[in-house]
Chains A and B, each alone.
Chain A
Amino acid sequence: MKDVEQRTWEVVRRAFEEERPPVRRSRASNSLLLATVLAGLVTATVAAAASPSGRAVLDQVRRAVGITHADAALFSLPAPGRLLVVSSEGGGVWLAHDNGYKRKLGPYEDAEWSPHGLYVVATTKNHLVALDVEHGVRWTLARHDPVWPRWEGTRTDTRIAYLTRAGLRVVAGDGTGDRLLDRYAGDVPPAWDPGRLHTVAYYTGGAIVLRNADSGRIVWRAPIDVTPSGLTWSDDGRYLAVTSSPKSVVLDAGGRLRRSISMLGAELLETAFKPGTHLLAVSLRLRQRSQIRLVDVDHPGRASLLFAGPGDFGDVAWSPNGRWLLLNWPSANQWLFVSGARVHAVGNIGQEFPRHDKLGPTLQIAGRWCCS
């Protein structure tokens, strides 16, 4: 009982230190120093976004939110690996290396790594494209509006699942054998089961379905009472987190419900399993603030607050070694690298991956930090 009390107190104390103005905090908590939120932040942001002159106001609001002493540019990644960054609205797909080198792969709308990080599958308005990041395009497949490509398999035998207006399709890694898997699949990115080769989880007809892409056999079907926005597996394939706005339900490898994660009054945004663990990073929005919590799926009740701040959080991505969590914080125009109590901020992130019209980009990074 004392353990439970102490654990809860640590969470409450941390939340309190982040809520209070900086002058009232101890030196020990200075690593999480946040600028004070301007009153009426949301109103100001919405109003400012409406006009070019308002954009200056929006920029001022952005400068008022965020970690002080942020790096002025993405000089490096804190862990080995390479990161794909999708910059929306014509910003294209970028490749960022851990030494700070980055380059634009092309004007693609989305991109994901192959299972071992040797290739990238990308989409354009009317094509699915497989790329070798060093030598360019390997093959293309013409399809209307392909979205959310996901690549899995061994070094010699891979499959790519993707959605089109006509449903969920699967194609082999060499571009052959493209076929429709489910005409009625919902608009949710599919997720390959890491524990079963060529077996994909997706949302269809009010249920999560796990299905072998080659045989078409349904392994299990789990009805759910929410419309999911994302699916994410733990590395060992033991858990599948199904995230929706009010809650995230965690299914086991047999499709049985193991946990339901929600928070009073909060909207869940995204979840990501820490590599090699059953710890689930949960991004959520609570009124005008957002939080990242780390939930231990194996031990109900064990959840810690990783970071909280004003405005909206975007995508999250774990480093391949699981030591750092990268958080996109559009309201502050920053990226945060969080490791326990350590927080490293990179500012001006919108300018690092600009879109063609100079507006602030929406950056997608979830699941795209790969392969040390």
Chain B
Amino acid sequence: MAERAWIKGAQRGSVADLERLFREHWPRAFRAARLVTGDAAAAEDIAQEAFLAAVRNLDRFDRRRPFAPWLHRIVVNRAIDWTRARKLRAEVELGEYLPAPPDPELNGDALGRITELSPEHRAVVVLRYVLEYTPGEIAELLDLPRGTVNSRLRRGLDRMKELE
């Protein structure tokens, strides 16, 4: 209920309500982007872009719907695009791209192995086990058949187990 009030307030121009909305949702948006990209700087850019998109589309946002899935859809799709683009750049030998230093959050635990997965597999694993969406919700967020979500989850987890 509080979230609806914040959105309503932000739609009326309240900076305070927008800040409540931002503080509530930024940490998870940033963490999701960081896990999918494996790059803190890129995650900052992506989370920022997602919130700027939210600001631009605030007037059209339906207050009856939850804010988080809408935001996470932008974050995860953009993070997948960024990760794919980085791989493409490496393939076309566009200079020596300098990767960010290893992310301490990703080292040494199960989530650390997520960087071994493809961007598409990373995204569903993050949405399921970090942001705690159901497979049905993930299918809706990423515009995928539910069977594809399930198979990506299964393959992703299998791959992470192989790396243990």
Chain A residues engaging chain B, CB cutoff 8 angstroms: 1, 4-5, 7-9, 11-13, 15-17, 19-21, 23-26, 222-225, 249, 251, 255-258, 260, 263-265, 286-287, 299-301, 303
Contacts and interface: CB of A to CB of B under 8 A. Distances in A.
Contacts of B49: 263-264
Interface of B: 10, 12-15, 18-19, 22-23, 26-27, 30, 40-45, 47-53, 55-56, 58, 74, 78, 85, 88-89, 92-98, 100
A249 B50 CA distance: 22
Contacts of A8: 22, 26, 30, 44, 47-48, 51
B44 A16 contact: no
Contact of A225 (B10, B52, B94): B94
Contacts of B10: 16
Contact of A11 (B52, B96, B97): B52
A12 B51 contact: yes
Describe B's contact surface by its main secondary structure: helix
Given A9-B26, A24-B13, A256 B95 contact: yes
B105 to A, nearest CB: 9
A1 B43 CA distance: 12
Contacts of B45: 300-301, 303
Contacts of A257: 89, 94-98
Of residues A13, A16, A26, which shows the largest number of chain B Cβ atoms within 10 Å of its Cβ?
Answer: A16
A258 B99 CA distance: 9
Contacts of A19: 55-56, 58
A265 B47 CA distance: 15
Given A12-B48, A300-B42, 12 more contacts: A5-B26, A5-B30, A8-B51, A9-B23, A11-B52, A24-B14, A225-B92, A255-B95, A256-B98, A260-B85, A264-B53, A303-B45
Contact of B94 (A1, A12, A224, A286): A224
Contacts of B53: 264-265
Contacts of A225: 88-89, 92, 94
Contacts of B52: 11-12, 15
A34 to B, nearest CB: 14
| Closest 10 pairs between A and B when the two form their complex, measured CB to CB | A24-B13, A300-B41, A257-B95, A301-B41, A301-B44, A256-B95, A256-B96, A20-B13, A12-B51, A264-B49
B15 A26 contact: yes
A258 B98 CA distance: 6
Nearest to B12: A24
A74 B90 CA distance: 49
20 contacts: A1-B27, A5-B26, A7-B44, A8-B22, A8-B47, A8-B48, A9-B19, A9-B26, A12-B18, A12-B48, A13-B15, A15-B56, A16-B10, A26-B15, A224-B94, A265-B53, A286-B56, A300-B41, A301-B40, A303-B45
A251 B95 contact: yes
B95 A9 contact: no
B94 A16 contact: no
B15 to A, nearest CB: 6
Contacts of B30: 1, 4-5, 8
Nearest to A26: B15
A342 B85 CA distance: 37
B95 A264 contact: no
Nearest to B21: A12
A236 to B, nearest CB: 19
Contacts of B14: 24
B94 A222 contact: yes
